Amino acid sequence: MPAGQGADVTTGRMEAGQVRAMFDRVASVYDLLNTVMTAGLHHRWRARAVDFARVGPGDRVLDVATGTGDLAIELARRVSPGGQVVGSDFSEAMLVRAREKGAKALRDIPSRVGGGAGPSARNGSHPSEPVSLRFEWGDALELPYGDGAFDAATVGFGARNFSDLQQGLREMARVVRPGGRVVVLEMTTPTRLPLSLFYRVWFDRVVPLIGKLAAAGARLRSRGRVRAPAQRTIAEAYTYLPNSVKRFHSPTALAAAMERAGCTDIGYVLMAGGIIALHGATVGGVATT
């Protein structure tokens, strides 16, 4: 269903089908607008999220709501050689972009390291094996993977789009082995001046304007082939974005939700002056090494 039919972008709430349709239509401008809106800092935030995942060569990792695959690609660099990364998303258009980017990134990821087998032996892989990176369709609320199938599960800027956050977190914890990690990287609303004032102006005024300009630019670049519904969806998406952040959990409430999902050893840091919250937790109460 198109975002404009039955959706309320002004409250930041959409049904799952509406969110899927929205991301299918914004896939062509998603990476560009991410870079514009974050001044390119989103790559640094994702690298920090991988630090929180505590993964290394040979590990298996799931990136939920992977989008165009940036976090999954960073994870692949860390688990190489011999590791496996699966990027899961319910938007086929985003997955198309992720597969293209992933194929290019794999050519630059080394497939060998010196020394012994290291952590890769735990998963039956060998340090000379290349890293595996694949992107496939999956519903975050009903992940098609077995219990304990991964050493870590991550989600970057996608948790606020879960139609049922608690169920999404439960599923992430379920597919991670005891002692593995669950990591959530998400935007949050700063509460202290002057950043809170800047945040309101940027997200309430500037981001929606960027969305409108991107929609118009997409139509111009395509010489009119981008139809009005797609233009409207691009503009609406960047009205939905700031409003979805406003209604999302506070960092402390998100930590509590992760605990209810079966996570322990929960910690979080705020970055970019409090605009970005990065949570990390252990599954099953067993400390990782």
pLDDT by 10s per residue, the chain, length 289: 333 444 455 445 567 788 888 888 888 888 888 888 888 889 999 999 999 999 999 999 999 999 999 999 999 999 999 999 999 999 999 999 999 999 999 998 876 544 334 444 456 555 568 999 999 999 999 999 999 999 999 999 999 999 999 999 999 999 999 999 999 999 987 767 776 676 677 767 777 676 666 665 555 455 454 444 444 566 677 777 777 887 889 999 999 999 999 999 999 999 988 889 999 999 985 444 4
Cβ-contact 61, 85 below 8 angstroms: yes
Which pLDDT score, from 0 to 100, does residue 183 have? 98
Question: Identity (one letter) of the amino acid at 228?
Answer: A
Residues 228 and 278 in one domain: no
- Rounded to whole angstroms, the Cα distance separating 248 from 244 reads 6
Which pLDDT score, from 0 to 100, does residue 181 have? 98
Which pLDDT score, from 0 to 100, does residue 13 have? 59
Residues 149 and 80 in one domain: yes
Q: Is residue 4 part of a domain?
A: no
Tokens 């269903």 belong to residue: 1
Counted domains in the chain: 2
Residues 68 and 144 in one domain: yes
Q: Per the omega criterion (within 30 degrees of 0), is the bond before 194 cis?
A: yes
Which pLDDT score, from 0 to 100, does residue 216 have? 59
Residues 242 and 269 in one domain: no
Q: Which domain holds residue 266?
A: 42-188+248-283
Which CATH number is 181's domain given? 3.40.50.150
Q: Is residue 6 part of a domain?
A: no
Q: Which helix (H) or strand (E) holds 136?
A: strand 132-137
Strand partners, 156: 185
Residues 91 and 219 in one domain: no
- Rounded to whole angstroms, the Cα distance separating 117 from 128 reads 9
Cα–Cα distances (Å) from 238 to 7, 39, 42, 208, 235, in that order, read 14, 16, 17, 5, 6
